[in-house]
Amino acid sequence: MMLRSRAGMEPDRSSYLAVMQWAVVVSLFGLLWPVPVAAQNLLVPPQPIRPPHLELRWETQLPSDTTLLDGFTLDVRAENTLVVGYHPVQLTATANGVFPADRRLEILFEPVGQDANSWDYAGRVRSVISCPLQLTQGVSSTTTQVYLPHYSNHPSYRIRVLDNGRPLDGYETTVGGLWVDVPLSVVPHRIGVLLPDEVRTGKQTAEWHQTPQATNLVRATTQRSLVRNIMALNTVGGNLGLDPNLQALRNAWPMIGSFLHEDQLWDSWLGYESLDILLLPLPMLDRLRQTAPRQATAIRQFAAAGGTLWLYGASDPDAVAKVLGIDPPTPAEQQALRMQLQREISPQALAAVDDQVWVQDYVAGRLVCFRDAYPFPGNVPDWETILKFHPAGSSTTVRRGVDPTFGDSRFWNWVMPGVAKPPVYPFLTLLGLFAFCVGPVAYHISNRLGRVYLMLLAAPVLAMVTTLLMAGYGLISDGLGSKARVREVTWVDSASSRGLRWTRATYFTGIQPAGGIGFPEQTAVYPYPQDQIDRVRVTGQDSAAGKIVLNEDEQRLMYGFMPSRQQRQFVTFTPQDNLGGIEVSPVGGTPQAVSRSLRNKFAFPIRTLLLRDQQGKYWYGAQVAAGEQIDVVPYADEAASKILRRQYSDYLPSPPIGFQRRSLTAASRRQSVDLVRDAVQQLPQDFRTMTEGIVEHRLRTMMQLEADLPRGQFIALADVTPDAVALPEAKLSDSVHFCMGTWHE
């Protein structure tokens, strides 16, 4: 049975109901009992993980009883199933011969393991997930990859197969092991190792064909006692007849989040979304561009969304630029990046790896390129240095800036002021009129009529009228339609027209939409729950139970994800090709020209634009239509800083006016959960304010903290694009669209 969500209610909602109940002279009192402490700090040595085993991947076949075979078998394979985020799942249906007719099945993934009346640390958002599986007539086998949005710390699901809504007998199983007390999404530097096909075939004719000997790398990632405690319980490795290096990779979970052979790679970046680093040889990525372009695109988009690519066999920057379709780094860009690294890493440590690696930014992510064709095993100190090359992308929780399991108080930084709130002053006015009418007025009238006993009737009648007026006012003030407040950022590499679209959006609907709320299939969607002090443990009845329907071209989040008359917030990441960008050219055709022009290659108009050339000079333009080319004017450094700060301050994420955060007692502070805050405290000093994710951190650093653009980059202001709004009929308020990135000549 689907449960109505209560986790996302505003704290003021209870006062709203209390005022209405006061109008009918009904008083309710309750006691708030203390809740046991869940965790004092999730990044310190944890409590023991629950034995007896951890099921890291799913490998099962339906039906288990061959007598129940309904013309086909279904193989289910999944990786990386113990983390919050997207779980990649491969479904393979194999016929006994060929499929006799077209058949569309529904695969259901139903969360199990949390009783509706039990307390659990699993989180507030647990949902049934539905995806289609199409069987085509005359085909013997079909394989599809789906990516399950998983917003809970509990990894267990019951899988069922339905045909026209009817469960197929025998096609049911339960997958997933006992869950981990420490959310793995806060563990930094989780690595996915992508192995070339030569590892599987044994035809290893080049150095990069070999399996990485990652022993020292794993040692460098396991300095934290938290990771050592988890790895001590990793009994899934076993001796499976693998070569020693493969066996070491398997035993290195959770730091080696997964290792995949070239023919097992996922066709969407969502398959790698819950990892932090992808390690692979550059020649393999170059080969994938020709043999498996979708898999190559998925790897590239993982980096664009904030992940880190470790590419070995990448000594030539021009070769890397060719494979990724980008410009090689300029000397100014290399110098700026090195200065940034020097603030975070000692000069001695940097000097020790200078001849081994070079680094380049790629949209929100970073490329760490190894000159050696096989940089293994390396030494532990050097690996520790290299792990520090991208602190902003060091963990999925840090990159996202949102914990979809429990949320935090920063939810209030991007809400619609006054929406779904009790109108206090009109209510007090009505209550004052009610008290005046039920008292002096009713007494005067009944006394003049000589029927004072009518006051006994007047009180409940007037109370009911007042209650109806209050409810009507609350309904009319918010309306029955949809509202939205959207913060959109387009982060682009103009040379390749590739980049990232990020949104943080709050939605309100007067009536719950029957179809829920929809997002593109290649978008990572994270609900942003409200914080609830002293509510670390959440009952099944309080979880935001809903249904997620995964279709070929969209994800639909239904029921508890978008209830009526409540503000609900979502953060999304969408890596995308063909975004456009900014093209800059000198007027007169020579680099020494004193004037410049720019062309808007985006599909939307730009209101204002500020860019900085490679010589450090600012240029400004305004009102540039899509595809239009205009001349830009020089801009003084001081004026550029002022306009950057003003534009950011005009749309600053901050709580509504008059909002007061609840003060935390020592006990409630220990019981509250803020995984993002705890994760960023492990980063270098410059990144400890990065509580709202990698995109917002970059935007705030450029526009507010430094008020200075790096050379070769731009910042622009535009209207929110229609496809960034998940409820198309919603009326936008106080919304903004920032564009930033590198421009191209």
Task: Tell me the pLDDT tens digit for each residue of 417-450.
Answer: 877 565 666 767 777 887 878 778 877 787 787 7
Say if residue 153 is in the same domain as residue 204. no
Domain count, the chain: 2
Q: Is position 410 within any domain?
A: no
Say if residue 83 is in the same domain as residue 118. yes
Please count the residues of the chain: 745
Write out the DSSP string of 563-603.
Answer: -TTS-EEEEEEEEES----EEEEETTSSTT-S-EEEEE-SS
Rounded to 5 degrees, φ, ψ at 197 are -60, -25
Radius of gyration of the chain (CA): 29
Q: Is position 432 within any domain?
A: no
Handedness of CA 702, 707, 711, 713 (dihedral sign): positive
Q: Is position 371 within any domain?
A: yes
Say if residue 163 is in the same domain as residue 278. no
Among 357, 377, 400, the domain boundary falls at 400
Q: Is position 214 within any domain?
A: yes
d(CA 385, CA 387): 5
Say if residue 168 is in the same domain as residue 63. yes
Say if residue 269 is in the same domain as residue 249. yes
Of 335, 339, 352, 343, residue with least CA distance to 386: 352
Task: Give yes or no for a contact between 373 and 206, defined as CB atoms under 8 angstroms apart.
Answer: yes
The arithmetic mean of pLDDT across residues 456-462, rounded, is 80
Edge-to-edge order in the sheet of strand 127-135: 166-175, 157-163, 103-111, 127-135, 546-550, 554-559, 517-520
Say if residue 350 is in the same domain as residue 248. yes
The tokens describing 181, both together, are: 């007390």
Close Cβ partners of 329 (under 8 Å, ≥ 6 residues apart): 317, 337, 360, 361
3-state secondary structure 72-86: EEEEEEECCCCCCEE
d(CA 126, CA 153): 9
Say if residue 383 is in the same domain as residue 288. yes
Say if residue 275 is in the same domain as residue 379. yes
Q: What digits encode the pLDDT tens for the residues 21-61? A: 333 222 222 322 333 333 333 333 333 333 334 456 788 99
Q: What digits encode the pLDDT tens for the residues 490-514? A: 999 999 999 999 999 999 998 888 8
d(CA 382, CA 368): 13
Say if residue 132 is in the same domain as residue 199. no
Task: Give yes or no for a contact between 305 and 500, defined as CB atoms under 8 angstroms apart.
Answer: yes
Among 400, 423, 456, the domain boundary falls at 400
Of 179, 135, 142, residue with least CA distance to 157: 179
Q: What CATH number has the domain bearing residue 113? A: 2.60.40.150
Say if residue 266 is in the same domain as residue 352. yes
Write out the DSSP string of 493-509.
Answer: ETTTTEEEEEEEEEEEE
Say if residue 165 is in the same domain as residue 222. no
Task: Give yes or no for a contact between 452 and 446, defined as CB atoms under 8 angstroms apart.
Answer: yes
Q: Is position 298 within any domain?
A: yes
Mean residue pLDDT across the chain = 82
Task: Give yes or no for a contact between 180 and 85, defined as CB atoms under 8 angstroms apart.
Answer: no
Q: Is position 122 within any domain?
A: yes
Q: What is the pLDDT of residue 82?
A: 72
Of 260, 243, 161, 231, residue with least CA distance to 204: 243
Say if residue 291 is in the same domain as residue 340. yes
Q: Which amino acid type is present at position 508?
A: F
**pTM reported for the whole predicted model:** 0.85
Instruction: Render the burial of 358-374: b for 16+ CB within 10 Å, e for the rest.
Output: bbbbbbbbbbbbbebbb
Q: What digits encode the pLDDT tens for the residues 696-706? A: 999 999 999 99
Among 364, 382, 400, the domain boundary falls at 400
- Domain coverage including residue 224: 184-400
The tokens describing 146, both together, are: 């789906």
Task: Give yes or no for a contact between 147 and 268, defined as CB atoms under 8 angstroms apart.
Answer: yes
